[in-house]
Amino acid sequence: MPYSLKNKLVVAISSRALFNLERENFIYENEGLPAYTEHQISHEDELLKPGTAYSLVQALLDLNHIEKEAQVEVIILSRNSPSTGLRVFNSIEKKELNIKRAAFTGGEKISQYLDALKVDLFLSKNKEDVQDAIDAGFAAALLYDAPENFHPDENQIRIAFDGDAVIFSEESEAIYKEKGLDAFAANEKMLADDPLSKGPFAKFLLTLSKIKKEEPKRIRIALVTSRNSPAHKRAILTLRKWGVDVDEAFFLGGVGKTEILKSFNAHIFFDDQEIHLDPAAGEIPSGKVPYPSDSKLSVKE
């Protein structure tokens, strides 16, 4: 029977998200595809340095050593050609990462392959690819550069999520943006017992939560949100309704998130707002979750 990706946590990741390919990207953008191709082929036996999502991928793959059947599948999904992508697989082999599958689209859009590959999460440093994935209904994040002095936890995967417009829908954040904080707080208090709609990262969180229930000590999840009382109640009850137990929750009400995230030592932090991501990205790996193109919030910032 064919190998099935169903009932697994499938993470698709671009080459530049897994490894540091900033020099190579500079060559591509400034000297063109022929120069980039020549550089990749001539350096294909040189080991690439880790990129922003490397520690996260390594930690997720380590879960597969616990059970006989793999729970996590990491797939390289890249605009590279098969020839230029060979360097990536050479580095994967040298790093002994258990990544067996890849799709090199030779410059074509990659969003059309996300459904076929049963992707739960897509990570990239290409803005267009991430936006296409979000618009197609997939959890996706545009990664910041890797922080210089990040030291990941070696025993746990630690993932931090913002709430509104990330794991929850943007409906409440839209009220805040349009009518202000008082209207937002009143709305959340009135609807405290009504679950929030699912946001772009809800499915990924639910899948991650299922694995966590089997190995609770290996995964730690934090909600780090600008909500505070009374808006905290709706968030907690929504997660309870979904059957998701987060380990830690921080309702910060406008207090900066960076120090909390640094203390939590997240392998990655997902948020929709640059005001939180810009400072956090200097301390821990971070990814921006864009709004769908048709969102009322898509022109903000």
**Alpha helix positions (H), 4-126:** 15-18, 22-31, 33-42, 54-62, 82-94
Q: Is residue 132 part of a domain?
A: yes
> Do 92 and 57 fall into the same domain?
yes
Establish if 97 belongs to a structural domain.
Answer: yes
- Say if residue 55 is in the same domain as residue 107: yes
> What is residue 237's DSSP assignment?
H
Confidence of residue 294 (pLDDT cuts 50, 70, 90): confident
Selected catalytic residue, list 120, 162, 164, 271: 162
* Burial track 124-140 (b if 16+ CB lie within 10 A, e otherwise): bbbeebbbbbbbeebbb
Question: Residue 20 domain-assigned?
Answer: yes
**Of the residues 85, 107, 142, which one is the last residue of a structural domain?**
142
- Angle formed by the axes of helices 33-42 and 22-31, to 10°? 150
Residue 103 lies in a domain: yes
Report how far apart, in Å, the C-alpha atoms of 26 and of each of 20, 22, 127, 146, 174 are.
12, 6, 15, 17, 37
Q: How many domains does the chain have?
A: 2
- pLDDT-derived band at 300 (thresholds 50, 70, 90) equals very low
Domain boundary residue, one of 98, 113, 142? 142
164 is catalytic: no
What pLDDT does residue 182 have? 84
E strand or H helix that includes residue 129? helix 127-135
Q: Domain residues for 223?
A: 157-288
Rounded average pLDDT over 71-95: 94
Say whether pLDDT at 301 is over 60: no
Assess whether 163 and 128 both reside in one domain. no
Residues 163/272, Cβ–Cβ less than 8 Å: no
Q: Which pLDDT does position 68 carry in this prediction? A: 67
Q: Where is the domain boundary, 112, 142, 172?
A: 142
Q: What is the pLDDT of residue 290?
A: 96
Interval 35-62 mean pLDDT:
95
Residues 94 and 39 in one domain: yes
Shared domain for 18 and 126, answered yes or no, is yes
Average pLDDT, the chain: 93
pLDDT score of 15: 96
CATH number of residue 129's parent domain: 3.40.50.1000
- In this structure, the answer to whether residues 231 and 277 fall within a common structural domain is yes
Please give the pLDDT value at position 281: 97
Paired tokens of 11 = 């993470």
Residue 256 located in a structural domain: yes
Q: pTM for the complete prediction? A: 0.93
Asked if residue 16 is part of any domain, the answer here is: yes
CA dihedral over 92, 97, 100, 103, signed as positive or negative: negative
Lowest mean pLDDT among 66-75, 106-115, 287-296: 66-75
Q: What is the average per-residue pLDDT within 42-66? A: 93
Are 137 and 168 in the same domain?
A: no
Judged against a pLDDT cut of 90, whether residue 174 lies above it is answered with no
Look at residue 5 in the predicted model and tell me its pLDDT. Answer: 86
